[in-house]
């Protein structure tokens, strides 16, 4: 009897230990997991938004009478601000063009040079004496261009334009040069030119037939020509990289962060069957979600060392009234959410339900089937509920990320978050503008909110998304991706292709990042926001001399990252920073001292 009792006790103890271990797994009590080390600074830190030094070093010439120039202007303005280039802008049809000698660089954002008139000769002599000029757009052949063409390295050019359907960077020019990037909806956009052998071509079409970016030294100075006509947000990095070829040393701040979002995760696990999941796995959707999709997603991210950021949807009921009901089924939320946290991930808010924060007076630009909330009070109650819900489930973290449902957010909804939910410190919507969406720049708004847009999405990374991803690696040294678990249920998002193929796309994009930017910081939404704060607060001043340049960083918080491109000579040491060589003359530096010295030699 006694022996038997002991056996039972032993079995009981074993069971308790196993239950305890299971509980630990489910509850996410492994607090020691290494999370992003980039601290999110409080609103009281009063982060500045991309301050520019007072002295204007660049003259930007635009043409308000020309459509291409008007469109390009918005992009170039943002590119210059993000690179911290302080500039004067002049409209060639309305303003007097000032003396070029007062500037280190001139950026010409015009397609037609004739309005510049005789001043074009001043521009070439400015370069001859050491000035740096970039022609930012392909230009129309006219007598003004004819006069200066040979100085830009053009030996022959015609009135016609090439259809440019792809882009290839030389190995020393842009990060991600290992691939050719295809252009959707290509058109005849680049000048037909033959270049002198003295030009240095940095980018061309895949077959090398059309030079897209080149430089031509003239006297003591340099011209850079962008013969690339797609001046849109998705291509900014190409123009920024071209601009960085102008001065002997170019230095610009970057964010240095990559994150991966799982939207609608955790959320109520879908019930029932899905045609394609049944076809490929003979499982219902919930089984597939738990036993295939989620383990695969975790494994792939883990293999690449990327922590995931999941954003919660509490319920899929579309009720937008003030009558908010809590979701009592929390087991799946516990299980999936804590597993994500255990792997170094983070949980944020996506919504009480999937209806965007848009009040009763809001009008959607396009009808995508969304509702509006019955009242401002209803929106507030919904946000109160989801913040309570997330707070009660995941005790090991403080949520700070908000991802608007379908990337749609009204001004009223944004205001509500800022004024009533101080725990939300960053909004991660979308980078590229689209139908109803809330498009963002990487910045810190005056109210302290960190705007941290996602760039690409889904498992099938199409040509346009790959081009944008490539562009942003060079513009801000960032990557931000999101996907939904229900991509697998939606034919428009690739369900018919099947998960085995889709997951290769997801894995392939992480492979791409590991190949082309192995040094990028892998972070969650919170870490990303901290990186944007440090980037945003910086003001960059650069003093050139014969042996390189001295850089002063105003607003350095603890550390910051910058891209350095040396165009004359080679590096003879960079002081005040940790240095990683990215490509030939291209470096990523981690700055820890507000004064950096970059030495160059022949
Ligand atoms: Zn969603």
Number of H helices, E strands in the chain: 14, 28
| Cβ–Cβ under 8 Å, residues 172 and 179 | no
Q: How far is the CA of 50 from the centre of ligand 1 (A)?
A: 31
SS3 content of the chain, % helix, strand, coil (to 5): 35, 25, 40
Q: Is the pLDDT of residue 138 over 90?
A: yes
- How do beta strands 58-62 and 105-108 pair? parallel
* Phi/psi at 328 (5° precision): -85, -15
Q: How far is the CA of 244 from the centre of ligand 1 (A)?
A: 38
Interacting residues of 508 by C-beta distance below 8 A, sequence separation 6+: 461
Asked if residue 313 is part of any domain, the answer here is yes
Shared domain check, 192 and 147: yes
Asked if residue 482 is part of any domain, the answer here is no
Q: How far is the CA of 581 from the centre of ligand 1 (A)?
A: 38
Q: How far is the CA of 338 from the centre of ligand 1 (A)?
A: 20
Shared domain check, 318 and 241: no
Question: Which of 478, 505, 532 is a domain's end point?
Answer: 532
CATH number at 72 reads: 3.40.50.880
Reading the block at residue 574, the tokens are 């960079």
Asked if residue 14 is part of any domain, the answer here is no
Q: How far is the CA of 27 from the centre of ligand 1 (A)?
A: 24
Number of domains the chain is built from: 3
Q: How far is the CA of 280 from the centre of ligand 1 (A)?
A: 25
Instruction: Report how far apart, in Å, the C-alpha atoms of 106 and of each of 62, 396, 572 are.
Output: 11, 52, 28
Shared domain check, 287 and 199: no
| Cβ–Cβ under 8 Å, residues 237 and 226 | no
Reading the block at residue 118, the tokens are 């005789």
Question: What 3-state class would DSSP assign to 31?
Answer: coil
Shared domain check, 320 and 234: no
Q: Count CB neighbours of 184 within 10 A.
A: 12
Q: How far is the CA of 18 from the centre of ligand 1 (A)?
A: 36
Report the share of the chain in percent with pLDDT over 90. Answer: 88
Q: How far is the CA of 350 from the centre of ligand 1 (A)?
A: 7
CATH number at 594 reads: 2.60.40
pLDDT of residue 569: 94
Q: How far is the CA of 192 from the centre of ligand 1 (A)?
A: 45
Q: Is the pLDDT of residue 16 over 90?
A: no
The string of pLDDT tens digits covering residues 270-307 is: 888 888 888 899 999 999 999 999 999 999 999 999 99
Asked if residue 556 is part of any domain, the answer here is yes
CA angle 158, 162, 165 (to 5 degrees): 165
Closest CA relative to residue 393, chosen from 25, 23, 28: 28
Ion ligand 1 neighbours (CB, 5 A) are 263-264
Band of pLDDT at residue 26, cut at 50, 70 and 90: very low
The string of pLDDT tens digits covering residues 543-590 is: 999 999 999 999 999 999 999 999 999 999 999 999 999 998 999 999
Closest CA relative to residue 470, chosen from 138, 78, 84, 183: 183
Question: Which of 510, 532, 554 is a domain's end point?
Answer: 532
Q: How far is the CA of 321 from the centre of ligand 1 (A)?
A: 20
Mean pLDDT of 419-424: 98
Asked if residue 108 is part of any domain, the answer here is yes
Shared domain check, 335 and 234: no
Q: How far is the CA of 458 from the centre of ligand 1 (A)?
A: 12
* Phi/psi at 103 (5° precision): -120, 150
Lowest mean pLDDT among 123-127, 390-394, 478-482, 483-487: 483-487
User: DSSP for 63-102?
Assistant: -TT-HHHHHHHHHHHHHHHHTT--EEEEETTTS----GGG
* 486: Cα within 13 Å, side-chain hemisphere: 14
Beta bridge partners of 216: 223
User: DSSP for 434-473?
Assistant: -TT--B--SEE-TTSPEE--B-EESSS--HHHHHHHHHHH
Q: What phi-psi label fits residue 142: left (phi over 0), alpha (psi between -120 and 50 degrees) or beta? A: beta
Mean pLDDT of 404-408: 97
Range of the domain at 595: 538-601
- How do beta strands 560-566 and 249-254 pair? antiparallel
Lowest mean pLDDT among 190-199, 273-282, 335-344, 523-532: 273-282
Q: How far is the CA of 354 from the centre of ligand 1 (A)?
A: 6
Shared domain check, 312 and 280: yes
pLDDT of residue 17: 54
Shared domain check, 294 and 193: no
Beta bridge partners of 107: 60, 134
pLDDT of residue 486: 81
Q: How far is the CA of 407 from the centre of ligand 1 (A)?
A: 8
Q: How far is the CA of 174 from the centre of ligand 1 (A)?
A: 33
Asked if residue 404 is part of any domain, the answer here is yes
The string of pLDDT tens digits covering residues 436-472 is: 999 999 999 999 999 999 999 999 999 999 999 999 9
Mean pLDDT of 401-430: 98
Shared domain check, 273 and 343: yes
- Where helices occur in 159-311 by DSSP H, the ranges are 236-243, 275-281, 285-288, 294-304
Shared domain check, 286 and 194: no
Q: Is the pLDDT of residue 30 over 50?
A: no
Shared domain check, 558 and 417: no
User: DSSP for 201-216?
Assistant: EEEE-TTS-SEEEEEE
Distance separating alpha carbons of residues 591 and 589, to the nearest angstrom: 6
Shared domain check, 331 and 273: yes
Q: How far is the CA of 311 from the centre of ligand 1 (A)?
A: 8
Mean pLDDT of 96-117: 97
Q: How far is the CA of 405 from the centre of ligand 1 (A)?
A: 5
Burial 108-134 (b: 16+ CB within 10 A, else e): bbbbbbebbeebbeebbebbeeebbbb
Asked if residue 305 is part of any domain, the answer here is yes
Q: Is the pLDDT of residue 211 over 90?
A: yes
Asked if residue 148 is part of any domain, the answer here is yes
Shared domain check, 243 and 298: no
Band of pLDDT at residue 9, cut at 50, 70 and 90: low
CA angle 486, 487, 489 (to 5 degrees): 65
| Cβ–Cβ under 8 Å, residues 583 and 474 | no
Q: How far is the CA of 137 from the centre of ligand 1 (A)?
A: 38
Question: Which of 231, 254, 277 is a domain's end point?
Answer: 254
| Cβ–Cβ under 8 Å, residues 87 and 80 | yes
pLDDT of residue 548: 96
Question: What 3-state class would DSSP assign to 17?
Answer: helix
Q: How far is the CA of 356 from the centre of ligand 1 (A)?
A: 10
Q: How far is the CA of 440 from the centre of ligand 1 (A)?
A: 17
The string of pLDDT tens digits covering residues 53-62 is: 999 999 999 9
Instruction: Report how far apart, in Å, the C-alpha atoms of 320 and of each of 160, 193, 371 are.
Output: 56, 59, 7
pLDDT of residue 78: 98
């Amino acid at each position: 009897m006694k022996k038997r009792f002991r056996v039972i006790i032993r079995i009981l103890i074993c069971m308790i230990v196993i239950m305890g271990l299971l509980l630990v797994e489910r509850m996410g009590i492994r607090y020691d997991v290494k999370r992003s080390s980039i601290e999110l600074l409080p609103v009281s830190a009063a982060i500045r938004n991309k301050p520019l030094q007072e002295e204007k070093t660049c003259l930007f010439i635009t043409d308000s009478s020309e459509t291409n120039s008007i469109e390009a202007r918005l992009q170039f303005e943002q590119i210059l601000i993000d690179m911290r280039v302080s500039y004067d802008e002049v409209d060639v049809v309305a303003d007097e063009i000032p003396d070029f000698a007062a500037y280190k660089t001139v950026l010409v954002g015009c397609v037609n040079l004739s309005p510049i008139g005789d001043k074009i000769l001043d521009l070439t002599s400015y370069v001859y004496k050491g000035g740096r000029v970039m022609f930012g757009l392909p230009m129309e052949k006219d007598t003004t261009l004819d006069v200066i063409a040979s100085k830009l390295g053009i030996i022959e050019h015609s009135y016609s334009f090439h259809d440019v359907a792809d882009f290839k960077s030389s190995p020393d020019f842009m990060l991600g040069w290992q691939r050719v990037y295809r252009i959707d909806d290509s058109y005849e956009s680049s000048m037909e030119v033959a270049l002198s052998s003295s030009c240095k071509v940095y980018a061309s079409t895949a077959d090398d037939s059309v030079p897209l970016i080149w430089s031509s030294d003239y006297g003591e100075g340099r011209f850079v020509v962008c013969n690339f006509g797609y001046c849109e947000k998705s291509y900014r990095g190409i123009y920024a990289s071209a601009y960085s070829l102008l001065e002997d040393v170019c230095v610009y701040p970057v964010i240095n962060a990559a994150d991966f979002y799982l939207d609608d995760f955790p959320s109520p696990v879908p019930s029932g069957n899905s045609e394609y999941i049944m076809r490929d796995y003979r499982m219902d959707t919930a089984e597939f979600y738990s036993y295939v999709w989620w383990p695969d997603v975790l494994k792939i991210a883990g293999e690449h060392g990327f922590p995931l950021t999941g954003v919660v949807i509490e319920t899929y009921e579309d009720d937008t009234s003030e009558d908010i009901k809590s979701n009592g089924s929390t087991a799946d939320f516990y299980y999936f959410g804590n597993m994500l946290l255990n792997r170094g991930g983070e949980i944020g808010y996506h919504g009480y339900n999937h209806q965007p924060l848009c009040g009763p007076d809001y009008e959607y630009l396009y009808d995508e089937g969304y509702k509006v909330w019955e009242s401002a009070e209803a929106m507030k109650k919904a946000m109160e509920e989801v913040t309570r819900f997330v707070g009660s489930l995941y005790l090991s973290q403080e949520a700070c990320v908000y991802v608007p449902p379908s990337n749609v957010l009204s001004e009223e909804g944004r205001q509500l978050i800022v004024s009533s939910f101080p725990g939300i410190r960053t909004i991660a919507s979308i980078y590229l503008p689209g139908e109803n969406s809330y498009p963002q720049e990487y910045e810190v708004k005056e109210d302290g909110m960190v705007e941290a847009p996602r760039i690409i999405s889904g498992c099938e990374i199409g040509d346009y998304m790959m081009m944008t991803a490539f562009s942003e690696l060079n513009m801000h040294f960032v990557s931000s991706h999101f996907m939904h678990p229900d991509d697998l249920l939606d034919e428009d998002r690739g369900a018919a292709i099947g998960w085995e193929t889709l997951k290769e796309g997801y894995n392939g994009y992480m492979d791409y990042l590991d190949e082309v930017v192995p040094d990028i910081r892998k972070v969650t939404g919170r870490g990303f926001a901290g990186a944007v704060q440090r980037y945003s607060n910086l003001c960059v001043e650069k003093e050139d001399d014969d042996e390189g340049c001295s850089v002063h960083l105003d607003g350095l918080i603890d550390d910051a990252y910058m891209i350095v491109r040396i165009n004359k000579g080679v590096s003879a040491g960079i002081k005040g920073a940790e240095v990683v060589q990215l490509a030939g003359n291209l470096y990523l530096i981690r700055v820890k001292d507000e004064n950096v010295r970059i030495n160059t030699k022949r």
